[in-house]
A = this chain, B = another copy of it.
Amino acid sequence: MEKYLTDLVSPGTVIRDVGVMQHTSTGYRAAGKRIATVPTMGALHEGHLELIRRARRLADIVVVSIFVNPTQFAPEEDLDKYPRPFEQDVALAFREGADCIFAPAAQDMFPAGFDTGVSVEKASRPLEGAFRPTHFRGVATVVAKLVNITQPNIVVFGQKDGQQTVVVRRMLRDLNFPIDLVVVPTVRDSDGLALSSRNVYLNPEQRREAPVLFESLALARELIRHGERSCAAILHAMRALIESKSSALIDYVSIADMDTLDEVNNLHEGNSIMISLAVRFGSTRLIDNIHVQL
């Protein structure tokens, strides 16, 4: 079926084998091609497609990886039910111009005896890390593997996973990977809800209330624009707005330095901040963030 789809949709290739992918990338690089890799967990939506389109403009060869990385899920999280519409993903990625799709099996990425982890220490601790203590180690490790396998000049990530972009940037820089990180702005539904593969879990009431994440971020931006400099005041207003929605339960709301993720108490000219939050709707946990440059 894969082969059929591949033939039908595009001249691209679905590569399952780690060695074949690495060999293919080595060939591209030896031929002087510029590679952009777009790491995804599949369940592609318009946000991912925007990443692929950006990669298409920046490189000769676009590799889209589709891999639901088990090591970034905690035991109680949604690994098993995470959506995997693989054939649709393949068709979408090729439609947007992917040259090849790398879709390895978990046992080939993490075979028996696998023993190595890549950790970004400080940047992994707050925010998502406080709720998902093993998550970013899983992310940093799999990104290190994916870039070694696909050998890109550029990797493309979405701003929606804001802390992830900070962790990945830090990891790439600290370990001297000769790779540029490109971060693409979050794609939103018309009501402001950030696109996410987890939005499909929301029931109708939750879906109606979920735009409050972005509304609270927009409120924060407005307050800052009107001169508010106390982060406590901004966070208080954001929380009040979110708590007005009966199905929303706040995990955190944060105003942090964009590079270090240290919480900020008072805003000053020149601050580059990430305002971010995680809110649960029933068992579905959504995150969102914006940057503000003062």
Contacts and interface: CB of A to CB of B under 8 A. Distances in A.
Given A30-B32, A178-B148, A140 B116 contact: yes
Interface stretch (A72-80, A117-125, A237-245, A282-290): A117-125
Nearest to A171: B116
Interface of A: 18, 22, 26, 30, 32, 113-123, 140-141, 144-145, 148-149, 151, 170-171, 174-178, 259-260
B175 A148 contact: yes
This chain's copy number in the assembly: 2
Contacts of A170: 115-116
Closest 9 interchain pairs by CB? A116-B174, A148-B176, A149-B176, A145-B176, A115-B122, A116-B120, A144-B175, A117-B119, A115-B121
A123 B176 CA distance: 24
A148 B177 contact: yes
Contacts of A22: 176, 178
21 contacts: A18-B176, A22-B176, A22-B178, A26-B178, A114-B174, A115-B120, A115-B122, A115-B123, A115-B174, A116-B119, A116-B120, A116-B140, A116-B170, A116-B175, A117-B118, A117-B119, A119-B119, A144-B144, A144-B175, A148-B176, A148-B177
Nearest to A150: B176
A8 B105 CA distance: 54
A145 B175 CA distance: 5
Nearest to A141: B175
Contacts of A117: 118-119, 121
A118 B174 CA distance: 11
Contacts of A116: 118-121, 140, 170-171, 174-175
Contacts of A259: 113
Given A116-B174, A148-B177, 8 more contacts: A115-B120, A115-B122, A116-B121, A118-B118, A119-B119, A141-B175, A144-B175, A145-B176
A26 to B, nearest CB: 7
A120 B120 CA distance: 15
A289 to B, nearest CB: 20
Nearest to A110: B174
A123 B117 CA distance: 12
A51 to B, nearest CB: 22
A174 B117 CA distance: 9
Contacts of A122: 115
Contact of A175 (B30, B118, B119, B151): B118
Contacts of A144: 118, 144, 175
Contacts of A141: 175
A26 B151 CA distance: 13
Contacts of A115: 120-123, 170, 174
